[in-house]
């Protein structure tokens, strides 16, 4: 008989607390492809490989280090994931979103998600940063499908403000102080791992998407189910298929993500202490 999800999340949270020496954290951060430099903001950090954390799977994607760092950033206790798990890697939605369940068990109530995304909107060029204001789930799956455990959250969680408006305002305030342009837009999530066709991108634009990627949305749904507030930022690492003459490749995605990641890291460091 398999161990219930709630017990698995609780056990993993206890392990992280024992390993890091920190019983609780206030803010969690999940880093996408090529954005690992954000981890440099963590002070007095304890690094824990995913392979050591009970019930965590392994990230198999280049650019995802596969470690959790628990420490402080801007004086705030944080838990930071260098790399995430993806549905396209063959993992179940339960496995992909387990870290978010663990964050909830750790007492975390604020979550910053980052990802590398393709720009669908005409004003988003490689290197742009876009705050996600809403999403369109085209993954063909919902991580809350199946029996609901009320200890996590309600059967039918509301997604009207899945991305916390107050957190979006904070991010804009910080961006203005830094004189950094921060766009806003709708993120569309697909299964992957193949990049989209030009025809699919045309469809996405008609449906109202500004950026497209293969992650984030399952994490947001589970976070909101658990009462965690979310701020999500896409690093636009490429122009989507059919909008440029060149082909898309993962190496270039990571390269652009690394360059833009330095600016994103500064933004996150300043945002963290303002999240309440």
225 catalytic? Reply is no
Active-site residue identified among 64, 106, 115, 175: 64
pLDDT (average), residues 168-196: 95
6 catalytic? Reply is no
Active-site residue identified among 226, 238, 240, 254: 238
In tens, the pLDDT along 64-88 reads: 578 999 999 888 999 999 989 999 9
% of the chain beyond a pLDDT of 90: 68
Higher pLDDT among residues 242 and 52, named by residue: 52
Examine residue 193 and say whether the peptide bond preceding it is cis (omega within 30 degrees of 0): yes
- Binned at pLDDT 50, 70 and 90, residue 256 comes out as low
Look up the pTM and report it. Answer: 0.92
86 catalytic? Reply is yes
Count of domains forming the chain: 1
- Alpha-carbon Rg of the chain, whole angstroms? 17
178 catalytic? Reply is no
| Domain range enclosing 53 | 5-274
The upper half-sphere exposure of residue 39, i.e. CA atoms within 13 Å in the direction of its Cβ, equals 25
- CATH number of the domain that 101 lies in? 3.40.50.1580
89 catalytic? Reply is yes
Active-site residue identified among 91, 200, 250, 255: 250
- Binned at pLDDT 50, 70 and 90, residue 34 comes out as low
In tens, the pLDDT along 192-231 reads: 999 889 899 999 999 999 999 999 999 999 999 999 999 9
Q: Is a pLDDT exceeding 80 seen at residue 244?
A: no
214 catalytic? Reply is yes
Whole-angstrom distance, CA of residue 4 vs CA of residue 10 = 10
Q: Is a pLDDT exceeding 80 seen at residue 102?
A: yes
215 catalytic? Reply is yes
Q: Is a pLDDT exceeding 90 seen at residue 241?
A: no
Buried/exposed code over 149-179 (b: 16+ C-beta within 10 A; e: otherwise): eeebbeeebeeeebbbeebbebbeebbeeee
Residue 78: strand pairing partners:
27, 71
135 catalytic? Reply is no
């Amino acid at each position: 008989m398999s161990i219930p999800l709630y017990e698995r999340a609780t056990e993993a949270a206890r392990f992280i607390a024992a390993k890091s020496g920190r019983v609780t954290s206030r803010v969690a951060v999940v880093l996408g492809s090529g954005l690992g430099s954000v981890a440099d903001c963590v002070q007095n950090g304890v690094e824990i490989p995913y392979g050591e954390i009970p019930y965590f799977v392994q990230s198999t994607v280049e650019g995802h280090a596969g470690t959790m760092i628990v420490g402080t950033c801007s004086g705030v206790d944080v838990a930071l994931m260098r790399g995430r798990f993806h549905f396209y890697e063959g993992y179940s939605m339960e496995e992909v979103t387990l870290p978010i369940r663990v964050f909830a068990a750790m007492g975390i109530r604020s979550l910053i998600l980052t990802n590398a995304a393709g720009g669908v909107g005409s004003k988003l060029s490689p290197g742009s940063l876009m705050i996600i204001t809403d999403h369109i789930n085209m993954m063909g799956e919902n991580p809350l499908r199946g029996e609901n455990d009320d200890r996590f959250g309600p059967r039918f969680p509301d997604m009207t403000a899945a991305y916390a408006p107050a957190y979006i305002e904070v991010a804009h305030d910080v961006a203005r102080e830094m004189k950094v342009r921060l766009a806003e837009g709708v993120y569309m999530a697909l299964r992957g791992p193949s990049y989209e066709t030009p025809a699919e991108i045309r469809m996405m634009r008609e449906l109202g998407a500004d950026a497209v990627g293969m992650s984030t949305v399952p994490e947001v749904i589970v976070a909101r189910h658990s009462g965690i507030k979310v701020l999500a930022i896409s690093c636009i690492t490429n122009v989507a298929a059919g909008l440029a003459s060149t082909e898309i490749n993962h190496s270039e995605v990571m390269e652009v993500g690394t360059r833009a990641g330095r600016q994103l890291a500064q933004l996150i460091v300043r945002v963290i202490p303002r999240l309440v």
